[in-house]
């Protein structure tokens, strides 16, 4: 079951995923079909990593929030 914090992550994750698909994967697939493998490697280094990092920032923020919530609700032993 999704928490409100999980639901709040849906929109930014979807946006970043769509950016990744539309701005990179489609271009890389087309470049591969044309045999431009050097271009793919260059794009992966220059652009794809930035899109990956943008997606991961949202995931990490959600993980940190979930971790903090779990810690607050733990009872001392």
pLDDT at 65: 62
* Residue pLDDT, tens place only, 18-60: 988 888 889 999 999 999 999 998 888 888 888 888 888 888 8
Question: Cβ(58)–Cβ(14) under 8 Å?
Answer: no
- As a whole number of angstroms, the longest Cα–Cα distance in the chain is 62
Question: Which 3-state string (H, E, C) describes 42-55?
Answer: HHHHHHHHHHHHHH
Its pTM surpasses 0.75: no
Q: What does the block give as tokens for 69?
A: 């919530």
pLDDT at 31: 93
Q: What whole-number distance in Å separates Cα of residue 37 and Cα of residue 45?
A: 13
């Amino acid at each position: 079951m999704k928490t409100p914090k999980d639901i709040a992550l849906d929109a930014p994750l979807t946006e970043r995923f769509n950016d990744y698909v539309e701005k990179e994967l489609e271009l890389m697939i087309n470049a591969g079909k044309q045999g431009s493998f050097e271009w793919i490697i260059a794009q992966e280094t220059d652009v794809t990593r930035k899109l990956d990092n943008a997606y991961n920032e949202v995931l990490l923020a959600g993980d940190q929030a979930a971790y903090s919530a779990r810690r607050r609700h733990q009872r001392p032993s």
